[in-house]
Structure formats: structure tokens, C-alpha cells
A and B are shown apart, each in its own frame.
Chain A
Amino acid sequence: MKELLLLSSLGILSLIAEILSVRKLIYPLVMIGLMLNIGFCVKDYGNNEHIYGMMMLDNVPLAFTALFSFIAILWFTMARNYFTDETNMSDHFSLVLFSMVGVFILTSYTHLVMLFLGIEILSIPVYVLAGSNKKSLYSNEAAFKYFLLGAFASGFLLLGITFVYGGIGSFNIVQIAASAYMPSGISHQLMVVGLLLILFAMAFKMSAVPFHFWAPDVYTGSPTVITAYMATIVKIGAIAGFFRLFSLVLPSYRFFTEVLLLIGVLSIIVGNIIAATQSNVKRLLAYSSIGHAGFIILGITLVGSQTSYITWAYVTLYYLLAYTLANIAAFWVLLIVSNQENTDDIHIFNGLAKRSPVLAGTMAIALLSMAGIPPLSGFFAKYFILINVIDNGKILVAVIAILASLIGVYYYFKIIIAMFSGSDEYAPPIQISGFNKMVLILICLLIVIIGILPDYFFRLIFK
């Protein structure tokens, strides 16, 4: 409960600060608030707090919350120029904070209405933020596209929730999961159709194939900072919400395992293959994020078969941490580099190693981690998922996933090759502030350390 209140009040405070014109206070306030939020998560750890039968804060939501708060701190550090450059900074602050309230609700709901509310609270601010670069046509297009398609997805979600309610007469996710075993009084067809519609809506939010078509355009059109937000925190929210419902539903409704397996494998294949043909870095990262979503879905798919709930929570969290850290780093570098050139094309990375070794090194570590090269954290993230896939006898799926990530290596290395051996005739060296440099190196160290010692991270979450 504290976390929810904290995040909402931070959002409201930043609106009030605008009225009282004490804008300068907002930024430190938000940072302190987010750190406090992590503190709350650590403190609440272990007691399962029920919130009016609508949400429940057990360990997994708390871990998700701590994760996204931490990533949010990094994101705010990265985005601080975005807020100072704009005229209406407190609006944007509150929009971001409100959407985080949505993420929090998605991690911990136990009631389907909260799921709907969570998704809406998460999405509506992001629709606005996507269009926050008012003068750019692409930004407007992104916002419009995202909004229209997102509205459709919300429609599906509502329809699905209604069907499920029609089937069982309850909104509670535990009861929904148990419904498969109830012999009478339940319309199983309605349940399956309802859950399928909910699944589609959430696959849309996670940008999984075949519901991914919005992602590349929206990612490319939005301001880079907001793209980074969508690729990290929004993704955490969508996946947490998805995990919450389907980790309970999957063991009883086996039908969804097959559907999810299909969605996961398709996302990995399509995401990686199309990413290989992109020359716009933002677009490339958008498609690669589709591939990563596929991996995470593959992970969640196996809950309840051979793998325990807690292992899967860990595997998903680990993957998300590795993925979001690498993404924040990559977008940060992209933000700095593209600021100088005003384009996101891959050629702006040419010769970056000479222009700024720190930026090139960070980008290389982030990309190598995303490509799954050991000993970086991305390797273990993929590895945990692959062993469980093979453990469940799906060797073909594992082979496909491995081959697709080999394609992933191709496009990540396109950037690395450009950075380390591309020509840099016109480009001047890039100066970055000492603080930025320090944080980037810190992220790199985290990526490496989490990769070398995955066990300590595990103990951190599940003592």
C-alpha cells in the first residue's frame, strides 16, 4: 500500500510543484521517492499484504517493484535533460510517475478490474508521452498509432474480462485459475475465449508477434528518452501483469501453453530476422525487444510443467533485469550520440570508439549482453530459459531460439563493427560529463557482475 501511495503522491506533488513554481525541487524529490520505494519493498519483504481484496503484495510483486524503481532511477538520471529542455516539465514528470503507478498495479493485482485499471493507467500517460515532441510529425504519428491500437487492445481486454466473468462469476485470479478443476457451474468455453482475449491484449502490450506491428513505428517516432521508457519500464509492467495472471492460469489451462509457445517462438524468429534488416538503431532495438519479449514469454510458458513458480519468477526477473539494464545503457548512448547528429541511422556510430571510448565500451557491453555472450548477464538470462525449455523436452524450440539469437549476434555486431572500425572522417570527439561517464561505467559493471555472480542476485531476492 505504501508503495502505491508514494508513487501517486509523487505524481500529484509534481503537479502541485508546477502551481507553486518550485520546479527545481521535483527532480530530487522524485529520486528520493524512488529510492524510498525500493526501501519500502525491502522492508515489506516477506509479509503478504492484502489490499482490499484487489491487490496482494507478496514477494514477487515486491521484487518487480524494486526492479522497476531501480530502473526508473537510472532512467530519470538519463532523462534529466529531457525534463529541463521542455517547457512543461512537471506535466511530464507526473505523467511518467502516474504510468509507474500503473506498473505497480500490474505487478500486484489479484482482481481483473485492477488488471484493466493498471493497463490503462500505464498506457494513457505513455500515449501522451509518445507524442511529446509536438513539432515532429513522426512523434505525432507514434502517439496516434499507439493510442488507436492500444484502444483496440483495451477493448479486447475488457471483452475478455467480461467473458471470464460470465464463465465463472468472479474477478479473482486465484478462482479463475482454480476454475479448470471445478466440474459444474462453469462455462469452460467462455473461460478459454475470455482468457485468450486477455492474452491477446497483453501480448499487444508486450509487443509480441503477431501483435507487434505498432512497436517499430512507435519506438522510432517517440523521443528517444520515451522510447527507452517504453522499452524498459512499460515492458516490465506488461510482463509483470502477464506473469501475474498466467503463472496461475497456465498450470490448469494447458491449452495456453501451446499458444504461448507459438507466440514466443514467433516473436523470437520475427523479431530477430526483421531486426537484422534495419539500419535505424531505434527501429533495430524495437525489433530486438520483440525478440526478447519472445524469450521471456517462452520462460513464462513453462510455469507449472517441470518448473516451480519461484524459479520462474526468478528467471523472468533476471531476464528483465539483464534486458532493461542493457537497454538503458544502449538508449543512453544512442541519446548522446544521436543528439549530435539529429538522426538515428546506424552510421552515426561510425568510429565511436575513437570519438568516445567510454560510450563505445558501454554500447559494446550492452549489445554483447543482449546478444547473450558470456560472462555478461544476458547470457545467463537466456541460459536459464533455454535449460528449462530443454528440460521440458522442447529441444526443437531451444534450437530455433539459439539459431535466432545467432541472427541477433549479426545485427548487434553491425553496430559494434561500426563503432570499432567504421570511418570517422567528419565526426568530432564527443564530450560527456563526468557524472554521465560514472553512471554508464556503473551500469556496465552491474551487467558484468550480475552475469558473473547470478547466484548472489538470486539470494538477494529469495533468501
Chain B
Amino acid sequence: MLVLLLIIIPVFFVLLTLMSGEKQAKNISFFGSLVTLALGIYAICAFKTDPLCSCFIYHTPWVKALGADFYIRIDGIDIILVLLTALLVPFIIQSSQSRVIQHPKSYFSLILLMQSALFGVFVAKDALLFYVFWEMALIPIYLICLVWGGEGRQKITFKFFIYTLFGSLFMLLAIIFIWLHTKERSFNIYDFYIAGSHLSPREQLLVFIAFYLAFAVKIPIFPLHTWQPDTYVNAPTQGTMLLSGIMLKMGAFGLIMWMIPVVPLGWHIASKYVVVLSVISVVYGALMALTQKDFKRMLAYSSLGHVGLIAAGIFSWNLQGVQGALYQMLSHGINVVALFYVCDIILTRMNTDTMQKLGGIRNVSTMFSVLFLIALLGSVALPFTNGFVGEFLLIHGVFQYNTGAAVFAGLTVILGAVYFLRAYQVMMHGQTNTLTQGFGAITKNEKILLGSFAVLIIFFGLFPNVILSISEQPVKVLIDHVHMVTNSGIK
């Protein structure tokens, strides 16, 4: 029941928001997201005491003609993403405080609708349901980017939409294909694991490619990333946060739950290529970030590099890699949302995010620059920040897979430090110019939000086991399943 509430409560608040006045819209949706957050935190506490509690399962027939069930369930892997979603949405809604939003009712209800769909994606254990939620998540974010985006948004958002839809249609084909091979025509994920493993290597490879197209577009992985930088820059801040903070995790989550365990032999055949593509993403993202002049665009490319590393960790498919990927999904979500918020604060005040034009903000607002630095260090993966735990595990995982790949993947940490610290130096240090003179102190709301981000970054850096211990067992099971199939497949 708890798991069903997670999906229903945001929808309930969508209705409330729609019925309320334009002025109250933000507050009501914020309250709704807080309720969901409380539920999410309760879920994780309850999960620690009793992971098999029946409140984490909701199972009822849905489309009987097809054997599809409305089967949602929280397990050790997806609870991390549920937590991430529940955690970030209140921040995302509250971060709109300093801006005037046109049509706030529609805006915030779309955000909540998106949250509901995201929960659905993460907890669905029925392939058809997963697909439906997957597509449902696309519509709100598309509308957010289309209606509230910047200049030239029509073309950019349309490119984004076509890319993702193109990928997911192939996923639909793959799902139907596996469904036809399940014993009793069911969409149940566990039946998928069995049916997929029994396909011939060639078929598994084809299914792997079809899934890969869907997930790699979403993550995104080179060379399917071209929609990403423009969309991030062009979307309204909340849209960018949703996209980079949560939505791209859908892709990485899909890799872990829906792709590699379903077609283990496909992974076995293709893993070297996809790891290389992911590492190219890492290096490409970092190099592009180095050359950017605008802060937001730099963040977009740095995000590309970071998620490339997550993908590489998943594709190396060992305990450290996958655990690191899960942890880094959480950390990256928090860090990137914090940084985009910093960027938004700068943009609202200065009307520009070109780094050369800024400088010496530290002299004007010390508080801001300190909080900015903490968020930044999380992304740079300094020890005792959350980024460190994830990236360490990831590089460790990739290292076990292939030393060469790990060396290049490790570049992300070094190059990340270079471009992030350079950006920080240019914007915060140096002479205060006429533009940054008017920066002023940061508001209480901004202080609270950035402060909470800082607390989260350090908390998850100090106590990684809070999360890692939950996911360890289920990750092991998935890994063993895949290795068992590949070992017997090779013989």
C-alpha cells in the first residue's frame, strides 16, 4: 500500500494544485512534495527493519488479455532512486522562489505529475507498466521545456522528444519480443529474466541493442547525447534539475534492472563496446566542459561526463561498479541539482552566466561562495563528500573490468577538478567588477536550500553505508544471475 501511495499522493496534489489559485500553487505543490518526502524517508526506515514487508508490494491484474499486471514493488535497488526522487522534488519546487513563473498552476502540477511517473518507473516490476510510466514521465518534462523554456525552444525540445521516443519505441519492440518468449505470456520482471536468458545469443544481442538505444538516449551516452546540452541550457531551471537530477537516472536504472539481467549474453557480447562508448562519454564530456564559456553549458557537459562514468560502472557489472553506480546516482542527483541552483541564483541576479564577465562574487557574498564551494567539491569527488564514495567505487569497478578503461575513466576526476575549480576561481575570486558589485547577499530561502544541500553532501560522504548496505544484497543477486547465465552460455 505504501508503494501505491507514493504514486498516488503526487497525483492527488496535482489535483489540489490545479484547483487552487495561482498564488497558492507553489505552496500547495511544495507541501505535497514534502508529504511525499516524509513517506519516502519512512519507506527507507521501514525497509531497513523489514525489507519483505507487504507494504512494499502492490499487485493486481491490469490487462488480463495480455497478462500484464499492475505490479509495483520496492526492493533494495529502486528504493535508492525512490529516495532520490522524493528528496529532490521539494528542492526543485522551492528553487523557483526567486523567479516569477508564468502559469504557476500548470507548471507545478506538471512537476508533481512527473514525480508520480518517475516513482512509477522506479517501482514498476511489470514491463508494460514500466514502459507506460517511462513514457508518462516524458510528456510533463517535454511540456515544461516547451512552454517555459528559453529562446529557440521549439526545435530543441522537439529534438529531445524525438530522440527519446525513438529510443523507447525500440525498447517497446524488445519488450514485446521477450514477452512472446515468456512461458505464460507475462510481463513480470522475473519471468523476463528467465525468458531473456533462454534466448539465443544473437537474439539477446538484438534485444540488448534495442534496450540500449532507449537507455543510452536517456542517460545520455556518446554518440546519442546531442540533444542534451541544448536542452539543459534551454529548459527552465526546474526542468533542467528534473532532467539532470532524476530523469537521466531512469536510463541508468533501466540498465541495472531491465537490460543486463534480462539479456546477460547480450551484455557479455557487447560489454566491451558499450564500456568504451561510456568512457568516450566521460572523456568527451570533460573535454567539452573545459572549453565552455558559460557556466550552465559547462554543467551540462560535466553531467555528461559523470553519467558516462556511471554507465561504465554498470557495464563492467561487478559489485563495486553497480553499487558505485547506485550511490553515484544519488550523489550526482543532489550535486547537480545544487549546482544548477547555484547557476540559477547567478543567472537571476547577473542575467548572464558567462564566466569571464563575472568575478569577485566572494567579496560580495561570502556565504554564497562557501556553500557553492561545498556543492562543487561534492562534484569534484573530494573525500568526505558524497561524490567521492560513488566515484571511488565506480573507478574501482571499471578497474576490475579493464585497467585501460579505468585510467581514462579516472580522467573525469582530474579533469573535473580542473574545470570546476577554474570556474569557481573565475567567478568567485578576483576583482569584483561593476556587474558583480550588484550581486548582493543571498536570501534566506537560498541560504536554507544551499545549506541543506551542503548538509546532504557531507552526510552522504560520511555515512555511505546507510545506503550501500541496503542495496548490497539485491545487487549481488542480480550480478550472480548474470554471471551464472554467461558462464553456462559460454560452455
Contact = CB atoms under 8 A, between A and B. Distances in A.
Contacts of B172: 383, 386, 402
Interface in B156-191: 158, 161-162, 165-166, 169-170, 172-173, 176-177, 179-180
Given A387-B66, A413-B161, A455-B64, A373 B135 contact: yes
Contacts of A113: none
Contacts, number: 73
A33 interface: no
A233 interface: no
A70 B62 CA distance: 25
From A311, A357, A384, A455, residue with most partner B Cβ within 10 Å: A455
Interface in A384-440: 384, 386-387, 390-391, 395, 398-399, 402, 405-406, 409-410, 413, 416-417, 420-421
A454 interface: yes
Contact of B173 (A399, A417, A455): A399
20 contacts: A357-B106, A368-B139, A373-B135, A374-B131, A374-B132, A379-B132, A379-B135, A384-B66, A386-B176, A387-B180, A390-B180, A391-B180, A395-B177, A398-B173, A398-B176, A402-B172, A416-B146, A417-B146, A420-B146, A455-B62
Contact of A455 (B65, B153, B179): B65
Interface in B61-76: 61-66
Contacts of B176: 386-387, 390, 398
A410 B143 contact: no
B34 interface: no
Size category of the B interface is: 20 to 34
Interface in B115-169: 131-132, 135-136, 138-139, 143, 146-147, 149, 153-154, 158, 161-162, 165-166, 169
Contact of B132 (A375, A395, A413): A375
Contacts of B66: 384, 387
Nearest to A365: B139
B65 A458 contact: yes
A353 B147 CA distance: 9
B179 to A, nearest CB: 7
Interface residues of A, number: 33
B65 A314 contact: yes
Nearest to B61: A455
A298 to B, nearest CB: 15
Contacts of A353: 147
Contacts of B62: 453, 455
- 4 smallest CB-CB distances across A and B, nearest first, come from A374-B132, A374-B135, A420-B147, A402-B169
A166 B177 CA distance: 45
B196 to A, nearest CB: 16
Contacts of B135: 373-375, 379
A374 B136 contact: yes
A405 B173 CA distance: 13
Contacts of B169: 402, 405-406
Contacts of B154: 417, 421
A375 B173 contact: no
Interface string A433-463: 0000000000000000000011100100000
From A311, A353, A387, residue with most partner B Cβ within 10 Å: A387
Given A373-B139, A375-B136, A398-B173, A455 B63 contact: yes
A144 to B, nearest CB: 39
Contacts of B64: 455, 458
Contacts of A380: 63
B431 to A, nearest CB: 41
Nearest to A391: B180
B165 A409 contact: yes
Contacts of A454: 63, 65
A375 B131 CA distance: 9
Contact of A390 (B138, B147, B158, B177): B177
A353 B143 CA distance: 11
B162 A409 contact: yes
A368 B162 CA distance: 13
A374 B176 CA distance: 15
A380 B180 CA distance: 17
A350 to B, nearest CB: 11
B165 A406 contact: yes
A410 B154 CA distance: 12
B321 to A, nearest CB: 32
A314 B66 CA distance: 13
A420 B143 contact: yes
B207 to A, nearest CB: 12
A240 B177 CA distance: 30
A413 B136 CA distance: 16
A420 B153 CA distance: 11
Contacts of B138: 373
Nearest to A403: B169
A153 to B, nearest CB: 35
Contacts of A416: 146
A421 B146 contact: yes
Contacts of B149: 421
Contacts of A458: 64-65
A380 B129 CA distance: 12
Contact of A410 (B131, B162, B177): B162
Given A373-B135, A387-B66, A455-B61, 14 more contacts: A311-B65, A374-B135, A379-B135, A383-B172, A390-B173, A395-B177, A402-B169, A406-B165, A406-B166, A410-B162, A417-B158, A420-B143, A421-B147, A455-B65
A458 B62 CA distance: 12
B471 to A, nearest CB: 29
B186 to A, nearest CB: 13
Contacts of A391: 180
